[in-house]
Amino acid sequence: MAITSRLRDSVTISRWVAGAADAWNRTGQSHVDDAFQTKANVQVRRGRVVRGPDLDAVAISDALIFLPIGATIGTRDLIRHGGATYRCLAAPRNAGGRGRHLEIDAQRIVP
């Protein structure tokens, strides 16, 4: 069975874009969604709730996301899937070095 038949989810990759520098030479950041969706397989591994300094709870869920081998994604990019947004924790890996698909360790971001 081909790996592409297992990529049943549709995700949108949101690319990181550097903004203009301000008076202190700091650049802002923003993300721009790709115009098309990419096939993927999103596997949520576990979840937990973390308390922040202002006592607001932030839900964090670690996930493993599989993308086709031709997909381009960087560590600053975000992945949007079904109302959830995931941040890439590391550079994508060529799974097993066989050129079939990419694996990405991701962390769910909940505002």
- Label residue 57 by pLDDT band (50, 70, 90): low
SS (H, E, C) 56-103: CEEEEEEEEEEEECCCCCCCCCEEEECCEEEEECCCCEEHHHCCCEEE
CA of 68: how far to CAs of 13, 27, 39, 49, 99, in Å?
A: 13, 32, 7, 31, 9
Of 65, 59, 63, 74, which Cα lies nearest the Cα of 109? 59
Q: Identify the pLDDT of residue 33.
A: 84
Determine the pLDDT at residue 88: 87
| pTM, rounded to two decimals | 0.72
